[in-house]
Amino acid sequence: SKESGRNQLFFFEPQMQQKLKQRQKMEQGLKQALANEQFHVYYQPKVNTLGHVVGYEALIRWQHPEFGLISPDSFIPLAESTGLIIDIGSWVLEQACEQIAKFSAQGESLSIAVNVSQRQLTRTDFAELVSTIVVNSGIDPSLLELEITESMLNDDLENTRQKLTALSQLGITFSLDDFGTGYSSLYYLQKLPMNVLKIDQSFVREFLTQETDYAIVKTIVAMAKALSLKVVAEGVEEQEQYEALVALECDFFQGYLFGKPSPLS
Ligand code: C2E
Ligand code: CA
Ligand code: CA
Ligand code: CA
């Protein structure tokens, strides 16, 4: 009824106001977070079929003075919508390239994968921004891998193709992250210079007990092989999962079984 509708409105208003306030506070904090050195890059190891670490994925964390350690899922969308992701994304790239340079100085050839957001990729100067950071760091560009997701690839694929091609000519590699969770994946594989497929952890989680998930994982690996792409399985938490994925000829593995994202020092 009208009456209860009105009551509902009164009931929800303070909550909504509180949410709005919190969002404003987050946004204000996010603006200052880079300057205040509140961001940290955590690294999760990626291993090969022998269990040797071959590289890492860079995953950002926000150490908030009041809210504690905030996971990227709760602030990346805000960073995207406010445009702050441009500076934050460049910072993560710089950190990752610096880390690759450190590895190289120690005689270790380890790669680092960095997540790219849609807002970064859409910029006309995306390729210039990335190549400047890579060139300034002095690293071997083939040690940098950029992760993009299907969901950020909608319109203007030709534009994206040109940017990725320019960067891949420098030696930078690309992976399609969260593979299988979007649509038109195959179309993107046909059009874009991809090197790696990352099987989303939602398929890996129960693939040993769910026949459908097993079939999907098996099919993704077979298709990747046929297209000369490498395959990374995400979210590997158990030894049995690892062994079964090795048997399916998956190339690389990430997950809590090998290490949670953590600071490298
Ligand atoms: P993602 O790229 O799909 O990263 C994988 C997520 O799965 C990470 O969450 C990682 O900590 C988590 N994970 C890894 N292994 C396991 C496992 O065995 N089990 C389970 N349950 N989870 C596992 P995280 O670090 O919270 O990052 C969440 C998302 O935030 C990332 O998903 C990525 O989309 C985004 N993100 C993180 N760092 C950045 C960044 O620097 N830039 C951008 N644009 N996005 C980022
Ligand atoms: Ca990723
Ligand atoms: Ca992923
Ligand atoms: Ca994800």
Q: Give ipTM to 2 decimals.
A: 0.98
Q: What is the mean pLDDT of residues 86-110?
A: 98
* 36 three-class SS: coil
Q: Looking at the predicted structure, is the pLDDT value of residue 2 above 50?
A: no
Provide the CB-side half-sphere exposure for 237 (13 A, CA): 9
Q: Looking at the predicted structure, is the pLDDT value of residue 207 above 50?
A: yes
Provide the CB-side half-sphere exposure for 99 (13 A, CA): 24
Question: How far is 168 from 224, CA to CA, in rounded Å?
Answer: 19
Question: How far is 210 from 215, CA to CA, in rounded Å?
Answer: 9
Interval 210-225: pLDDT, tens: 999 999 999 999 999 9
For ligand 2, the distance from its centroid to the CA atom of residue 11, given in whole angstroms, is 40
Report the DSSP pairing between strands 68-70 and 53-64: antiparallel
Q: Looking at the predicted structure, is the pLDDT value of residue 8 above 90?
A: no
DSSP secondary structure letter of residue 210: -
Question: How far is 42 from 39, CA to CA, in rounded Å?
Answer: 10
Atom nearest to 149 CA in ligand 1: 34
Where residue 11 falls among pLDDT bands split at 50, 70, 90? low
For ligand 4, the distance from its centroid to the CA atom of residue 149, given in whole angstroms, is 8
Q: What contacts 94, CB < 8 A, 6 or more positions away?
A: 133, 137
